[in-house]
Amino acid sequence: MNNLIKENASNVESFAAPDPSLRPTQDTYDAFQKAYDEANYVLFAGERAGCLITLQRRARTMGYFSPNRFVRADGEQSHELAVNPAYFRNCALIDTLSVFVHEMIHVWQEHFGKPGRGRYHNSEFAEMSESLGLMPSATGQPGGKRTGDRMSHYIIEGGKFERFARDLIERGFEIPWSETPPKLENAGIDGGAENKTKKGGKRPKYTCGICGQNAWAMHEAALVCGKDMGPMLPA
């Protein structure tokens, strides 16, 4: 065992020391835990139960809540609050925070209210969301349905959430890591070389992660939904 330790130590010396400040996992999850704790205190009066925050790339979904998804060795259960990192780069930080708080409302409802069946957002959810400054809307725009399976919202100007989020951001809050744009292989000095991935002549479909609207465009197009100004990603 001692010989193995000595051998490994000599091997390590031959490599450059890693950057001790490069801690993307801790940086990212610390940021979301801070957002959770502060939103819990300011918006929910500290009533939220803890939950396990995860990053998930579920198609056409900016975030979701799953009750009692995880269990500890001693039997203690935890909910899951998931956010999709594919949207971090193209969404304003306040919009990402609004999705996060939307999922926190599901946590609140699981403990203190009466959740709808499945993923249905019922009238109780709608009322709680509006009271926090997130107007429920199936389209993400004024006049959209307030209840339903697939729901969005828009931020109420001057509402409780907007005041909370802008204060948090002004104090330096950020999500330090986001996904890089798609890379072009053999891009060359000026970039723009063709990607090695073969593409057919058929135009791919892009879908808005908020309202579900579809559009078809060239490969690697950068599209924004005209209804809610959210990014449209390849389906």
Average pLDDT over residues 30-56: 92
Residue 125, token pair as written in the block: 């959810």
Contacts of 84 (CB under 8 A, 6+ apart): 55, 56, 57, 58, 61, 62, 63, 209
**Confidence class for position 129, pLDDT limits 50, 70, 90:** very high
Domain count, the chain: 2
- The partner residues of 70 in beta bridges, in order of sequence, read 78
Same domain for 49 and 165? yes
Average pLDDT over residues 92-113: 95
- pLDDT above 80 for 150: yes
Specify the residue for token string 């990603």. 233
Same domain for 166 and 209? no
Flag whether 222 is in a domain: yes
Same domain for 222 and 164? no
- pLDDT above 50 for 193: no
Confidence at residue 59, expressed as pLDDT on a 0 to 100 scale: 80
Same domain for 209 and 161? no
- pLDDT above 90 for 98: yes
Same domain for 221 and 111? no
Confidence at residue 105, expressed as pLDDT on a 0 to 100 scale: 96
Flag whether 212 is in a domain: yes
Whole-angstrom distance, CA of residue 197 vs CA of residue 194: 8
Same domain for 115 and 45? yes
Flag whether 52 is in a domain: yes
- pLDDT above 60 for 110: yes
Flag whether 134 is in a domain: no
Give the range of the structural domain holding residue 99, as residue numbers without chain letter: 24-119+156-170
Q: Whose CA is closest to 41, among 155, 160, 171?
A: 160
Flag whether 147 is in a domain: no
Flag whether 44 is in a domain: yes
Flag whether 78 is in a domain: yes
Q: What is the CATH number of the domain that holds 57?
A: 3.30.2010
Confidence at residue 205, expressed as pLDDT on a 0 to 100 scale: 79
Q: For the ranges 82-86, 90-94, 208-212, which has the lowest average pLDDT?
A: 208-212
Whole-angstrom distance, CA of residue 82 vs CA of residue 61: 10
**Helix (H) / strand (E) containing 151:** none
Flag whether 29 is in a domain: yes
